[in-house]
């Protein structure tokens, strides 16, 4: 499936087949693809919890106002942004330095810049967590489409309840849920979008 | 190009060929694909300014700390989230209602829920703008990759300066810049990512 086809055919699936699970290997492959999303300085300031057990789904559905998608989909990823974004950045850049793609001096300057930007800036940290996690979530949605799977992003959940149910530490901010599985019948196609003239300005 | 290939091959391009422009038709196609991203209630709370004129690029580069990518890439999109997200939602849902995909009652309930959620909640509005704009930005990045174009997201810019240079109204929040064009030689491949064991938890 081409990228454009995946973008055009992806729809927010509301009806999943509860009988069809996904192998953990497929879940790992989807998460690996999601981790290829970009992030500022390559901070990779995200973490994914793939909820696919019966007990996990029940806990997550309860924290998501009982939405059936969470119970029925094979897996629902909790996409977290992590705070502060630059935590672990030096180590995360080391493979690029060792490969010679980024000089040690440049990597050090990125760590320094990221620290200067985000240190003691909780609002900026939070916004960066939302941005990075959303980039990863969109990559995950399209990766699923490319694998022939149905998906749905959910922003309607009680973040505090999700935090409690999955013992998320304070540095993990749940930003979006992404349900993935096999579609049941009866889903509507992708909803129409606004006309381009309402969205795009040339400058 | 398959979706997985696009996700794996996309890299943040730092060196663009300044001699190669993009037709406005290509820019429109990329923006149309970006608009296929999901948003809560299908709010489509985003707006894109495609900066491709010499004067526009000069103004945007100045607001982005002089980054060469903005000057050299054929186009840089200013990806804005819009506030409040539910503004225009009833009209935006009308095509889905007319097509019979969403009942009029369901559409009305979404408008009501979105209004209840976001009314007088500037922080939530801002976070939703960042989330939605980031989902659109990631879709744009992968759409560009699928078209054989190079791209780079930029979060390092002076939002107030961008707002002033492009006369953005208060309801448009610039969230990310996305430069797109043809790569020059000398770009590094996609930077390595953390091991999956650092990112993924199964539950």
The token duo for B47 is: 């707006």
The pLDDT score that the predictor gives to residue B47 is 98
Residues (pLDDT < 70) of chain A are none
ipTM over 0.95: yes
Q: What is the CA radius of gyration of chain A?
A: 18
Q: Nearest CA of chain A to the CA of B17: how many Å?
A: 20
* Cross-chain CB nearest to A199 (options B35, B153, B188): B35
The pLDDT score that the predictor gives to residue B9 is 97
Whole-number Å distance between alpha carbons of A114 and A117: 5
The pLDDT score that the predictor gives to residue B201 is 98
Nearest residue to A50 via CA among A146, A166, A202, A135: A166
With an 8 Å Cβ cutoff, are A127 and B127 in contact?
yes
Instruction: Give me the architecture of the B3-183 domain, per CATH.
Output: 3-Layer(aba) Sandwich (3.40)
The pLDDT score that the predictor gives to residue B53 is 98
For residue A79, how many C-alpha atoms fall within 13 Å in the half-sphere facing its CB? 31
Listed in sequence order, the residues at least 6 apart from B95 whose beta carbon sits closer than 8 Å to its beta carbon are A191, A192
The pLDDT score that the predictor gives to residue A82 is 98
**Position B162 confidence tier, pLDDT thresholds 50, 70, 90:** very high
With an 8 Å Cβ cutoff, are A193 and B8 in contact?
no
Q: Does domain A3-86+128-183 have CATH number 3.40.109.10?
A: yes
The pLDDT score that the predictor gives to residue B195 is 96
With an 8 Å Cβ cutoff, are A203 and B101 in contact?
no
Whole-number Å distance between alpha carbons of A111 and A121: 16
* Cross-chain CB nearest to A191 (options B12, B42, B48): B42
Mean pLDDT of B140-165: 98
**Position B116 confidence tier, pLDDT thresholds 50, 70, 90:** very high
Domain boundaries, chain B: 3-183
**Position B59 confidence tier, pLDDT thresholds 50, 70, 90:** very high
With an 8 Å Cβ cutoff, are A49 and B196 in contact?
no
With an 8 Å Cβ cutoff, are B33 and A190 in contact?
no
Per the confidence metrics, is the pTM higher than 0.80?
yes
* Contact residues on chain A for B31, CB-CB shorter than 8 A: 196, 199-200
């Amino acid at each position: 499936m081409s990228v454009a086809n995946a973008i055009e055919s992806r729809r927010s699936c509301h009806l999943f087949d509860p009988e069809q699970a996904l192998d953990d290997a497929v879940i790992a492959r989807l998460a690996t693809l999601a981790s290829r999303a970009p992030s500022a300085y390559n901070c990779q300031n995200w973490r994914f919890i793939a909820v696919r057990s019966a007990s996990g789904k029940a806990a997550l559905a309860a924290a998501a106002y009982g939405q059936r998608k969470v119970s029925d989909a094979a897996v629902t990823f909790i996409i977290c942004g992590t705070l502060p974004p630059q935590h672990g950045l030096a180590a995360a850049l080391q493979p690029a330095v060792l490969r010679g793609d980024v000089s040690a001096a440049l990597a050090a300057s990125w760590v320094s810049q990221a620290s200067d930007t985000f240190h003691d800036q909780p609002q900026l940290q939070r916004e960066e967590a939302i941005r990075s996690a959303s980039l990863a979530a969109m990559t995950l949605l399209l990766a699923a489409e490319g694998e022939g799977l149905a998906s749905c992003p959910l922003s309607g959940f009680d973040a505090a309840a999700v935090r409690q149910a999955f013992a998320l530490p304070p540095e993990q901010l749940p930003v979006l849920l992404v349900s993935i599985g096999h579609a049941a019948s009866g889903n509507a196609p992708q909803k129409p979008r606004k006309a381009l003239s309402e969205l795009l300005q040339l400058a």
